[in-house]
Amino acid sequence: MFSYDFSQGNKDMRDLLGGKGANLAEMTNLGLPVPPGFTITTKACQVYLETGKEPPGLTDEVTAHLATIERARGKTLGDPADPLLVSVRSGAKFSMPGMMDTVLNIGLTDDSVHGLAAQANDERFAWDSYRRLLQMFGKTVLGIDGERFESALEDAKQARNAEHDVDLDAEDLRDLVAAYKRIVQEETGKEFPQDPREQLDAAIRAVFESWNAPRAVTYRRQERIPGDLGTAVNVVAMVFGNLGAGSGTGVAFTRDPASGARGIYGDYLSNAQGEDVVAGIRNTVPLTELARLDQTSYHQLLDIMATLEGHYRDLCDIEFTIERGKLWMLQTRVGKRTAAAAFRIATQLVDEGLIDEDEALRRVDGHQLAQLMFPRFDDRGRRRRISRGMNASPGAAVGRAVFDNATAVEWARSGESVILVRRETNPDDLEGMIAARGILTSRGGKTSHAAVVARGMGKTCVCGAEELDVDTVGRRFTGPGGVEVHEGDVISIDGTSGEVFLGEVPVVDSPVVRYFEGDLDPRAADADELVRAVDRIMRLADARRRLDVRANADSPADATRARSMGAHGIGLCRTEHMFLGERRTHVERLILAEGDEEREKALAALLPPQRDDFIGIFAAMDGMPVTVRLLDPPLHEFLPDLTELSVRVAVARERGEVDPDDVRLLRAVRRLHEENPMLGLRGVRLGLLVPGLFTMQVRAIAEAAVARIEAGGDPRVEVMIPLVGAVQELELIRDEARAAIDDVQERAGVALSIPVGTMIELPRAALTAGRIARAAEFFSFGTNDLTQTAWGFSRDDVEGAFFSAYLEKGIFGVSPFESLDAEGVGRLVRIACEEGRAARPDLKVGVCGEHGGDPASVHFFHEVGLDYVSCSPFRVPVARVEAGRAAVLASADAGDESR
């Protein structure tokens, strides 16, 4: 069986019937007024695409279904006196761009148009329906450029001096039909098919074929939707909203998709068909107006909306048509919503008893929470919107428009906020992008260079604002209505909504962040409903999650912030900043040291300030674990730049006033220079090659712990060795660290318990994790380096250079630095986790790369069974929510299996 009557399907059959078909069936079985129809399955589409033919028997099945519809409607397809008309609508499991547009009014011919006119007693309506069929069929089934029909329609309106299509009368429309038929003849060399069944079969085939339309193929590749699912086809008896003023068509939402507030939301357009209501061809009226126009239908619609909400237990969006006072439902689905609405609706539905708390948690996600945490433009501020592009990277940025890199860099250096405006960006724009507050482009989608790089940098970006005409040579852009923005003019861009505004729009802090920071009390009587909803969801997530959430924090201020965001400890405390500033001179002396004595002096100078740093951090995280990573970056990062220093020495030589220290330094810089620093002398390798360096750090840590204990604190310190590839490396450093801790312990007479563990960030470490675990008390995955080394990508080089091309070609659906590559890098994580725990059952395992704050990655880490994730303080709430969701989603899946 390759087709189902609407009465035979249900909403859980999306695989076979597509989303639209499954929901039409569901509504039919709920007893709602859906026009009769049937769905041809995705399986039929698969067969067609494999064999180039309709599957055997499909033609007869269609005939049988048509007969059922004909009986129900009391009309026959092709009857010149009273024709049945149908629509043919594509509908895959996932809605995607590029699939065939719906064709309405199939079944109309030169003969039956008269029958339709007579039956409806409305000439104009019949010709209007026919010209729509010709236009839609011509464009989508026959592949004729839609412009040709549009311009013929424009000509007709102009000839009549008509503003809108409704101002054309029957005669005009009849002429338009003749013009359209000529276009079809010219473009295809054939007449428009006068056999209704031929029209229907051609439209069905065209839907099948649209599965492989280039846009759909690209979209699926990027979204990781399998290419062989196929689309379903829905054939639905026509109902007519274009039968005069008592008819119309509309869209409705059961709640406000922007705020989540309950109420009546939607638009209605009378005397209109199909997409007219959203196409903006005439002004629609708010749905509440329908109460005045057609009270009975209005109340029936409200009843149906309540039924659908109760049934789907969620916000639904709806398409309906009223034909001479009779209401028909044409589509429903669980509706899209803003992030704020998602949180509010989820908690409202719990209060209304429609869903339980776990379900509420499943209904929101970390991406939405992250959106709510960005600063945003003040709704109350005056704003003048110029355009809207894609919301490529969230945030709100205000600055002066600049059109080239040099200006961006120069102005930013002098303290200006700038927005870099380009047609599109390329790797040469990197510097400008770094300097800018935000990036605006007129071309390209969410995988364009600008979008990918901006997301990687966490910078606000709006891309593909196609209405803007960017003139980089003239240093200006123009927008709709002749708006002009010149270099230096202030603009505001909203990377969360994609909007572009003229002038400065005031920015306000997110109330959600203020709540996390303790500035807003969710239980106050006047608390914002969104803040209350977020608070409830956070509590739920915390109660359900199994993963601990820590933060990456390097200073007491970060640690405090992390705690307020709900972090239970620090998963990664980097120590490189402890070698900067005034301490650089000691680092230089350490590197230049010619004997043990000199080196030890330099190290001794570095120890006390580092100890103080640690005391501050341990105090801020009192009672919670703090994992300190020993020095990781290559030493030359702490030395002057090679070129600058070379020039300095050369100039000094000319003048004959050479500083011998500079000459020694230059030699050291040359010696330490590396072609691939990412793969050079860094991490554990430093500890092995610079005697005393790691001992000094460990001493500083242990002494800080002693100081905290003596002050009555509760430091819980862990020492972490980076970039280990072989257990031998770790053993040597671990012994050194243990000795240092023992020594501090003994001298102070205070017992210290400081586990020593390692990062797993090289494939070799992951693959020999069983051995490494014997020398490590904990593992922490450094997924950034692990991704770099597993793929052989140098992130700083490749992300800006060619990741957008990789995304466009569908090599990966999302950057592996944004979301963990579960298949490859994830496999290494899994192996290391399993083999590490097999060797040491109580091994604590976490992750400290930014992936720890990425929703999909958090689910992966939950599933692999890690103990905790750690991410930047700002991402901590996202990780908490997703860890909670991972737990309830896993239990829902388990429930499904047992059923």
Residues annotated catalytic, as ranges: 449, 848
Stretch that binds ligand ADP, among 233-241, 399-407, 690-698, 824-832 (CB under 6 A): 233-241
11, 65, 73, 89: which one binds ligand ADP (CB under 6 A): 89
**Is-contact 374 394, C-beta < 8 A?**
yes
Rounded to the nearest angstrom, the gap between the alpha carbon of residue 518 and the centroid of all alpha carbons in its chain is: 28
User: Total residues at the site for Mg ion (CB under 5 A)?
Assistant: 5
The whole-angstrom separation of Cα 648 and Cα 663 is: 10
| Alpha-carbon torsion, ordered 104, 108, 114, 118, to 10 deg | -50
The whole-angstrom separation of Cα 530 and Cα 90 is: 37
Which candidate, 883, 880, 889, places its Cα nearest to that of 866?
883
Q: What are phi and psi of 712, to 5 degrees?
A: 90, 10
| 237 versus 565: smaller Cβ distance to ligand ADP | 237
35 binds ligand ADP (CB under 6 A): yes
87 binds ligand ADP (CB under 6 A): yes
Question: Which distant-in-sequence residues (6+ apart) come within 8 Å of 127 by Cβ?
Answer: 113, 117, 170, 173, 174, 176, 177
Task: Tokens 């005397």: give the residue.
Answer: 271
Q: How far is the CB of 89 from Mg ion (least distance, A)?
A: 8
Strands 396-402 and 625-629: unpaired
**Is-contact 403 423, C-beta < 8 A?**
no
Q: How far is the CB of 891 from ligand ADP (least distance, A)?
A: 34
Q: How far is the CB of 238 from Mg ion (least distance, A)?
A: 14
The whole-angstrom separation of Cα 485 and Cα 492 is: 12
**Is-contact 184 144, C-beta < 8 A?**
yes
Residue nearest to Mg ion (CB): 785
Stretch that binds ligand ADP, among 235-243, 308-316, 372-380, 419-427 (CB under 6 A): 235-243
| 238 versus 876: smaller Cβ distance to ligand ADP | 238
Choose the contact partner of 558 out of ligand ADP, Mg ion, none; CB within 5 to 8 A by kind. Answer: none
Residue 876, both tokens = 């901590």
25, 166, 318, 330: which one binds ligand ADP (CB under 6 A): 330
Stretch that binds Mg ion, among 298-306, 607-615, 774-782, 815-823 (CB under 5 A): 774-782
Q: Quick one: how many helices (H) and strands (E) in the chain?
A: 35, 33
Q: How far is the CB of 104 from ligand ADP (least distance, A)?
A: 6
Stretch that binds ligand ADP, among 230-238, 429-437, 498-506, 780-788 (CB under 6 A): 230-238
The whole-angstrom separation of Cα 554 and Cα 779 is: 19
**Is-contact 13 29, C-beta < 8 A?**
no
Q: What are phi and psi of 522, to 5 degrees?
A: -65, -15
Residue 672, both tokens = 């330490």
172, 785, 850, 882: which one binds Mg ion (CB under 5 A): 785
Q: In Å, how far are 313, 787, 795 from 760, measured between CA atoms?
A: 44, 11, 18
761 binds Mg ion (CB under 5 A): yes
**Is-contact 730 772, C-beta < 8 A?**
yes
Q: How far is the CB of 273 from ligand ADP (least distance, A)?
A: 6
210 binds ligand ADP (CB under 6 A): no
Choose the contact partner of 321 out of ligand ADP, Mg ion, none; CB within 5 to 8 A by kind. Answer: ligand ADP
Which candidate, 694, 696, 668, 669, places its Cα nearest to that of 683?
694
Choose the contact partner of 330 out of Mg ion, ligand ADP, none; CB within 5 to 8 A by kind. Answer: ligand ADP
319 binds ligand ADP (CB under 6 A): yes
Judged by CB under 6 A, the chain residues 688 through 747 that form the site for ligand ADP are: none
| Alpha-carbon torsion, ordered 95, 97, 100, 104, to 10 deg | 70
Task: Tokens 């230049």: give the residue.
Answer: 592
| 198 versus 576: smaller Cβ distance to Mg ion | 576
| 197 versus 664: smaller Cβ distance to ligand ADP | 197
Stretch that binds ligand ADP, among 236-244, 371-379, 555-563, 647-655 (CB under 6 A): 236-244
Choose the contact partner of 368 out of ligand ADP, Mg ion, none; CB within 5 to 8 A by kind. Answer: none
Q: How far is the CB of 98 from Mg ion (least distance, A)?
A: 16
In 553-657, the DSSP E strands lie at 570-573, 625-629
Q: What is the DSSP string of 20-56?
A: HHHHHHHHHHTT-----EEEE-HHHHHHHHHHSSPPT
274, 511, 625, 877: which one binds ligand ADP (CB under 6 A): 274
| 115 versus 274: smaller Cβ distance to ligand ADP | 274
| 238 versus 828: smaller Cβ distance to ligand ADP | 238
User: Total residues at the site for ligand ADP (CB under 6 A)?
Assistant: 15
Judged by CB under 5 A, the chain residues 304 through 323 that form the site for Mg ion are: 319
Stretch that binds ligand ADP, among 234-242, 415-423, 563-571, 845-853 (CB under 6 A): 234-242
Q: In Å, how far are 107, 321, 325, 706 from 271, measured between CA atoms?
A: 21, 10, 12, 81
The whole-angstrom separation of Cα 897 and Cα 716 is: 41
Q: How far is the CB of 312 from ligand ADP (least distance, A)?
A: 17
Rounded to 5 degrees, what angle do the CA atoms 687, 690, 694 make?
40
Q: How far is the CB of 200 from ligand ADP (least distance, A)?
A: 13
| 33 versus 80: smaller Cβ distance to Mg ion | 33
Q: How far is the CB of 475 from ligand ADP (least distance, A)?
A: 40
Judged by CB under 5 A, the chain residues 327 through 386 that form the site for Mg ion are: 331
Contact letters for ligand ADP, residues 95-124 (x by CB under 6 A) = -------x-x--------------------
Q: How far is the CB of 250 from ligand ADP (least distance, A)?
A: 9
Count CB atoms within 10 A of the CB of residue 280.
9
**Dihedral class, residue 264 (left if φ above 0, else alpha if ψ from -120 to 50, else beta):** beta
Q: How far is the CB of 848 from Mg ion (least distance, A)?
A: 9
Choose the contact partner of 761 out of Mg ion, ligand ADP, none; CB within 5 to 8 A by kind. Answer: Mg ion
The whole-angstrom separation of Cα 252 and Cα 308 is: 12
Q: For residue 716, what is the enclosing H or E element?
A: strand 716-721
**Is-contact 786 762, C-beta < 8 A?**
yes
Task: Tokens 């028997």: give the residue.
Answer: 57
321, 697, 787, 870: which one binds ligand ADP (CB under 6 A): 321
Judged by CB under 6 A, the chain residues 144 through 203 that form the site for ligand ADP are: none
782 binds Mg ion (CB under 5 A): yes
The whole-angstrom separation of Cα 312 and Cα 27 is: 11
| 102 versus 872: smaller Cβ distance to ligand ADP | 102
387 binds ligand ADP (CB under 6 A): no
Stretch that binds ligand ADP, among 153-161, 231-239, 415-423, 598-606 (CB under 6 A): 231-239
Question: Which distant-in-sequence residues (6+ apart) come within 8 Å of 843 by Cβ?
Answer: 773, 776, 777, 778, 779, 836, 837
| 229 versus 678: smaller Cβ distance to Mg ion | 678
Q: How far is the CB of 804 from Mg ion (least distance, A)?
A: 25
27, 113, 232, 238: which one binds ligand ADP (CB under 6 A): 238
236 binds ligand ADP (CB under 6 A): yes
368 binds ligand ADP (CB under 6 A): no
The whole-angstrom separation of Cα 852 and Cα 759 is: 14
**Is-contact 820 828, C-beta < 8 A?**
no
| 100 versus 451: smaller Cβ distance to Mg ion | 100
Q: How far is the CB of 329 from ligand ADP (least distance, A)?
A: 9
Q: Which residues bind ligand ADP (CB under 6 A)?
A: 35, 87, 89, 102, 104, 236-239, 274-275, 319, 321, 330-331
Give the residues lining the site for Mg ion (CB under 5 A).
319, 331, 761, 782, 785
